[in-house]
Structure 1
């Protein structure tokens, strides 16, 4: 068999294009992410976790670990179930040290519902591989490239404060503050109300929130209560033709418990995940300054043009944000 010269040139050019495209695709590194969550008392955390797994499937992030900042016993267990369901049964799970963390239960019992379903637990590792949160943080950060890791916090600041105060160990000779300064790119936190107000993740551990606000050495991006509070999502998960999943079960129980089956659930934690990837500010405008944590758990904001902390102002509509989130929840 032979090809005429024009065809040889065509196929050679096509081969060069394919090789170049493959090389370009491989050269784009996915963003290393550690997710810190109070998963349990609300169920938007479950939506955020589904988003993170879908983003990891698409290669946009490298999910390093899911870590609970809630001392509630169900929290690390439900992380194991979701991670296994989404094909990552060996993904590290961190359990909160109750010396630092609040214990806030799941009053809607969506976690009980998920944990009781044997089908959802089939992909879960049989061994309880949960690790101490601070040791896990230090191990992961020590192994990471400098200034590479993004931490997304959708819960209390308990773990983050303890991390900053941690001492050198077998993983790294650095103090916690030095380790964070060297390894973390930025922190995205679903916390606070802006420019002022009082919000759950702050007032449940005010001491830790104030410590992180005053000592965290990299940029902090706050996705405030007021953003996700008016972005309603989750209703598409109730479509009867969809296959069963931990996420669908979670929203079915949660939406009924919160009396939201007509409007959907606020997307506090899901919008924080969107914010973590919005590096070109297409969805949100960052307002520079610094957060001020008051003793009663409320917060204020001091504008500073050169500040390294930011709170976000939506640039796009709430309906567009909801559309993006629902797409991720459906695995699109």
Structure 2
């Protein structure tokens, strides 16, 4: 064990890396204990392309038997977000994974580089759609209803939620009432079933900004940070922003297939070649594999957001919020792990 000191709001922070005393009373990821980790993925798929790579990681963990992906929920209020998730589920060999869709979400932008739309509509030279993607619009459940159904069926303290978009669905889940799936209200249901919320959100640098995932739905983020009845570990903007997934991998490591949905997504999002930050991938890596040699973690505390979407961390011995960091050597290891994982062939291919 070793320590590293950082200065920020609230004074001195001590970061512990490796197998540390801070987590001696907290459960290791189930994937490290032998049982597949039960995961729900909450995403704003269709905004930044890192969501597509993060979902790819989860499929690869599924193939390895490390996780059971219970559901994928979209918090982007755009139908192509859910359609692209269904396309990915089908292409990677997991068409049974249910997809949830936000209702009246905070973000419905239809920008020209919406890669989810581009990949869903992608056609070969003859004009035929490349990816088998039936229109399953009617099959999508509203996300909060899907959460309640899925969580009610799981053992207590068994589920990890990985949230890499807006907090809209999670805030509504906390406010939800009893239903046919569970007599518990949302907050009590989360307290009973969820072991960890691994979230990509916030910016804790001294010269911080209102991070995108927070500011798009500030009220929801404030609700989640203020009311979530369990452990939250956040991977802030400044972590993933310093770990760039290389364009050379996108161009060279997926040529085993003529058409790959992640490659199409990358090519549709920005003009290739470009390296791209791995914000969302860091939250997936931590949730499934833990600290290992990849991350350092803050002492316990409390995260809160102000009305503009700026996030702050106050250390507190009894706090249940933490945030991740990585030094240069750790960032190299993280990037290599990303490349190793996502360049593996999917199930059945």
Q: Is this contact kept in 2: 1:34–1:152, CA < 8 A?
A: yes
1:156 is aligned to 2:166:
yes
Q: Which residue of 1 aligns with 2:76?
A: 70
Q: Secondary structure at the residue paired with 1:271?
A: helix
Q: Is this contact kept in 2: 1:41–1:107, CA < 8 A?
A: no
Q: Secondary structure at the residue paired with 2:242?
A: coil
Q: Which has the higher helix share?
A: 1
Q: Is this contact kept in 1: 2:39–2:70, CA < 8 A?
A: yes
Task: Report the number of matched residues.
Answer: 302
1:328 is aligned to 2:341:
yes
Within 1, Cα distance between the matches of 2:70 and 2:185? 21
Q: 1:246 to 1:106 in 2, by over 3 A?
A: farther
* Structure 2 counterparts to residues 35-46 of structure 1, below 5 A: 35-46=41-52
Q: Which residue of 2 aligns with 1:145?
A: 155
Q: Which residue of 2 aligns with 1:294?
A: 306
- Tell me the CA shift for residue 110 of structure 1: 1.6
Within 2, Cα distance between the matches of 1:213 and 1:127? 31
Q: Secondary structure at the residue paired with 1:209?
A: helix
Q: Is this contact kept in 2: 1:194–1:224, CA < 8 A?
A: yes
Q: Which residue of 1 aligns with 2:229?
A: 217
Q: Secondary structure at the residue paired with 2:82?
A: helix
Q: Which residue of 2 aligns with 1:273?
A: 284
Q: Which residue of 1 aligns with 2:67?
A: 61
Within 2, Cα distance between the matches of 1:127 and 1:89? 14
Q: Secondary structure at the residue paired with 1:36?
A: strand
Within 1, Cα distance between the matches of 2:305 and 2:195? 23
Q: Is this contact kept in 1: 2:202–2:214, CA < 8 A?
A: yes
- Tell me the CA shift for residue 65 of structure 1: 0.6
More moved, 296-305 vs 34-43? 296-305
Q: Which residue of 1 aligns with 2:102?
A: 96
- Tell me the CA shift for residue 126 of structure 1: 5.8
Within 2, Cα distance between the matches of 1:43 and 1:156? 15
**Which ranges of structure 2 fall in alignment gaps of 5 or more residues?**
1-30, 123-127
Within 2, Cα distance between the matches of 1:42 and 1:232? 13
Larger-Rg structure: 1
Q: Secondary structure at the residue paired with 1:317?
A: helix
Q: Which residue of 2 aligns with 1:107?
A: 112
| Correspondent of 1:134 among 144, 148, 169 | 144
| Correspondent of 2:56 among 29, 50, 54 | 50
Within 1, Cα distance between the matches of 2:137 and 2:235? 35
Within 1, Cα distance between the matches of 2:88 and 2:36? 21
Q: Secondary structure at the residue paired with 2:139?
A: coil
Within 1, Cα distance between the matches of 2:163 and 2:111? 19
Within 1, Cα distance between the matches of 2:137 and 2:119? 18
Q: Is this contact kept in 2: 1:141–1:183, CA < 8 A?
A: yes
Q: Is this contact kept in 2: 1:80–1:125, CA < 8 A?
A: no
Q: Is this contact kept in 1: 2:246–2:276, CA < 8 A?
A: yes
Taking only aligned residues, the RMSD between alpha carbons, in angstroms, comes to: 2.0
**Which ranges of structure 1 fall in alignment gaps of 5 or more residues?**
1-24
Q: Secondary structure at the residue paired with 2:70?
A: strand
1:317 is aligned to 2:347:
no
Q: Which residue of 1 aligns with 2:294?
A: 283
Q: Deviations over 1:218-266 (max 9, x none)?
A: 100000000110111142121284422101111222241xxx625x110
1:190 is aligned to 2:200:
yes
Q: Is this contact kept in 1: 2:100–2:143, CA < 8 A?
A: yes
Q: Is this contact kept in 2: 1:87–1:123, CA < 8 A?
A: no
Q: Secondary structure at the residue paired with 2:268?
A: helix
Q: Is this contact kept in 1: 2:77–2:106, CA < 8 A?
A: yes
Within 2, Cα distance between the matches of 1:309 and 1:120? 44
* Structure 2 counterparts to residues 16-35 of structure 1, below 5 A: 28-35=34-41
1:168 is aligned to 2:181:
no
